[in-house]
Amino acid sequence: MQELNQAAAPNASRDTIDLEWANLLSPQRRGLLRRGGLLAALAASGLAGTALAQDERQAPRLKAAPGKSPWGEHTDTAPTPRPANVRPGEEHLPAAPRAYTDIESYHAHIYFDEDSFQKAALMRKWAAERFSVELGDWNTEPRGPHVTPSFYFGFTNELLPVIVPWLQLNSLGLTILIHPNTDDPRADHLYYALWVNRSQPVNGYAMKKPGPGEPRVEQIYVNTHPTVKLETARA
Ligand code: ZN
C-alpha cells in the first residue's frame, strides 16, 4: 500500500485516500485487474493478500456446479437406517462376558514419523536390551492396520504388568497401541486396545479371523537377548 499510506504520500488527505480505495475496489477496476493479469496488477497496487485478493480467488468456488446430484434431491428426508452391528462376535447383546483367558499374548505397536524416529529407535533399543520379546522389523510406511510408520514387539501375558508401566514411563511421548491377541484380530486392534498417550486411527475393519490351517492366535517367538537389568527404584 506504499502509494496509499501516509508515509509515502504525507500530504494526502483522508478523503483522497478513501477515494483511491474506492477506485481500486470499483467494479471497473476489478474487471481491469482480472483482464490485465491479476497477480501483476495486485502486486503493483499492493493489494495482494487483502480482502479483494481473497474475494477474487474464492468467488468462483461459491457458485454451485450446474446439474443434479447423483444422490437425488431428497436425501434430507430419507429415513434413518439402523446400521448392522460391527462389534466382533456380538450380533446380539452378549449373554455372558468374554473369558479374559482368551488372551494368549500381547503386541505393543510404537508409532513414529520423520520427526520422531530417533525417539522410536532409542525406545526400541532400550526394550530389546531389557525384555525377552519378539521384536518386529521397522515399518517405515503404513502397513496392515497401522496408518503411520511403526515397529512392534510381541510379549507373553506374564510380562504385561511390567511392560505397561514401563511403556508409560518410557514412551518419550510417542503414541503406542497395546493390543491383546485373541482369535479375533479385528477386535484385538479396534475394541480391546490400550493406548499410551494419544490414540490414532487403526484401519482394522477388514481384518479377518484366521482361516482353516492358519494358527488360531498369533504366536510369539522371542528373538531378543536382554543384557541390561531392568531399572527399579530399589536397584
Ligand atoms: Zn499387532
d(C-alpha 135, C-alpha 152), whole Å: 6
Position 8 scores a pLDDT of: 41
Position 208 scores a pLDDT of: 84
pLDDT at residue 122 greater than cutoff 90: yes
SS3 96: coil
- Residue among 26, 23, 27, 48 at smallest CA distance from 37: 48
pLDDT at residue 41 greater than cutoff 50: no
pLDDT at residue 55 greater than cutoff 60: no
Cα–ligand 1 centroid distance for 83 (angstroms): 28
Helix extents (H) in 107-222? 117-130, 160-170, 185-190
188 vs 89, higher pLDDT: 188
Residues lying with their CB under 5 A of ligand 1, a single-atom ion:
107
Band the pLDDT of 96: cuts 50, 70, 90. confident
Evaluate the CA torsion angle 64, 69, 74, 76 in order and state its sign: negative
Q: Which three cell numbers stand for residue 152?
A: 512392534
Cα–ligand 1 centroid distance for 188 (angstroms): 8
d(C-alpha 221, C-alpha 185), whole Å: 18
The mean pLDDT of 81-106, rounded to a whole number, is: 81
Position 212 scores a pLDDT of: 85
Cα–ligand 1 centroid distance for 179 (angstroms): 6
Cα–ligand 1 centroid distance for 93 (angstroms): 27
Cα–ligand 1 centroid distance for 86 (angstroms): 20
